[in-house]
Amino acid sequence: MYHLFVLGQLMDHAMTGYQLRKALAAAVGQEQTMSYGVLYPLLERLAAAGEVTLTEKTEGQRQKRWVAITDRGRDQFHQLIVIPVVRNKQTQLWFQIKMMGLHLLSPADRRLVLTDFQTCTQEQLAHWQHVHDYFSDQPNMVPGDVADGLQLNQLQQQQTQVQLDWITQQLTRLDKGE
């Protein structure tokens, strides 16, 4: 997923590793960002695959490593972003990263990515309903645990519904040609 994020960020302009890390933190939150120990080896692998170029430049008294995307990297970005997201513990992060690259896609590819996100979010909403049903039918649980579980479940359902509404809005805008 970081592979997709790096290529997507570079589609607009070259960046330093520091700038890439800051962009990821801004997009998905500080707790989801990658360490430099993950980022720089990834950049080396992308360079070895011919998807980016790495250039050392001296700015002031510091050496900075600039990363630029190649044509192969642009092709790889377009292949990666339209692949349906596998449902696992990183699903939400995958979609957040994909949403950062929507402006780079054709309307058809935007629709494909948003529809996958919509389906996943509908599945999440159904899951939260099952969780609600579980808590509602637990006569042997401590009542306070049931109440807390139901309150948390209400929050989870509302957050997921807001996400689904946002996706629906994006699809509607796409239908209108916006």
Mean pLDDT, the chain, integer: 93
The pLDDT-based confidence of 178 (bands split at 50, 70, 90) is confident
Residue 166 is predicted with a pLDDT of 97
| Residue 140, helix vs strand vs coil | coil
Q: How confident is the model over 39-56, as a mean pLDDT?
A: 95
* DSSP assignment of 39-66: HHHHHHHHHHTTSEEEEEEEETTEEEEE
Return the C-alpha torsion angle 150, 155, 159, 162, nearest 10. 90
Residues 6+ apart with CB under 8 A from 128: 153, 156, 157, 160
Element (H, E) at 62: strand 62-69
Q: How confident is the model over 1-16, as a mean pLDDT?
A: 94
Q: How confident is the model over 69-77, as a mean pLDDT?
A: 97
Q: pLDDT tens digits, residue range 97-152?
A: 999 999 999 999 999 999 999 999 999 999 999 999 998 988 788 989 999 999 99
